Amino acid sequence: MKSFEYAAPGTLREATALLGSTWGNTEILAGGTDLLTCLKQHITAPDRVVSLKNLAELKGIEEKGGQLRIGAMTTLAELASHAAIQKHFPALVTAAEGVGSPQIMSMGTVGGDLCQRPRCWYFRNGFGLFAKDGDSPLVRDGENRYHAIFGNEGGAQFVSASSFGPALVALGATVLVEGPGGAARSVPAAEFFRTPQVETERETALKPNEIVIAVEIPLAGLKNAAYEVRHRHGLDWPYVAAAVALAGPGSSVKSHVVLGHVAPVPWPAAKASELLAGGSIDEALAGRCGEAAASGARPLSQNGYKVQLVKVAVKRALLMAAKA
């Protein structure tokens, strides 16, 4: 591991001032559950690591102005056990508890979950975001059983690793970020996750000198649920996940179905969402939504099984939300 300067600023403004203007020169340390791995695997070799551990303003959960604000340094365990989260957003509880490791839940943070790097084993072994060995692409003809079945037409064929991403997109959440000099902006969760086009880009709308400070979720009374299909219980990432948010009769808010671990970003299943307009959810409608969610999938050579898992995950998430 390369030696680096370590900084633990006491204010958010000090923290952003310590960050660089290009990716890789500096890195942010929240819980460290992903960054430490990236450092050990030489995925990143920063000159400076900026810890957020002393920034109290990034911690905690509070209800304010019709929204629930979740600080970026809130841990997964704190989120999963919070009464307001359990009451209003069970989809987030499922996502947090699905991590399965008490150690990761105690250290991992909400902001870190949103910003973690892809789990693609080619990327993790030094072949880059687009998994190339020289000019040769590795994923399409290689070991691709955990890769994308949607949004995989270009060079990026990894899947978004965020556990909270699908639920936050479905719930209409906003990600709050702050840059140098206190410059703040709000990014809809649906726009926060991005598919990089070149190696120097990352998988979010975050700039190199910005920090995620909080997530805000409207308290819109949406029934919501998430369902994940995993190989095993414990520390692992799902094969497929589905998050749903259901609007009540007469609501001006739309119902949404969003898929996880099937694309480089949380993937809105627009056709499935359209079927929910004005419909009472039962086994038949939930099944049709599952079929619609899987339409348009473009499996690679070894991950066609994910198509069926999408259908199952969407159906079960909808039935869970309907019974809530």
Q: How far apart are CA 229 and CA 212, in angstroms?
A: 28
Burial of 293 (0-12, 13-18, 19+ CB in 10 A): buried
Q: Which CATH number fits domain 5-323: 3.30.450.20, 3.30.70.580, 1.10.1380.10, 3.30.465.10?
A: 3.30.465.10
Residue 284 has a CB neighbour count (10 Å cut-off) of 9
pTM of the model: 0.96
Q: How far apart are CA 262 and CA 161, in angstroms?
A: 10
> Which among 117, 130, 128, 104 is positioned nearest to 27, based on CA atoms?
117
Question: With contact defined as beta carbons under 8 Å apart, do 109 and 59 qualify?
Answer: no
Per residue of the chain (324 residues), what is the pLDDT tens digit? 789 999 999 999 999 999 999 999 999 999 999 999 999 999 999 999 999 999 999 999 999 899 999 999 999 999 999 999 999 999 999 999 998 789 999 999 999 999 999 999 999 999 999 999 999 999 998 999 999 999 999 999 999 999 999 999 999 999 999 999 999 999 999 999 999 999 999 999 999 999 999 999 999 999 999 999 998 766 678 999 999 999 987 676 899 999 999 999 999 999 999 999 867 899 999 999 999 999 999 999 999 999 999 999 999 999 999 998
> Which among 37, 270, 280 is positioned nearest to 170, based on CA atoms?
270
Q: Write the DSSP symbol of residue 109.
A: B
Give domain limits for the chain: 5-323
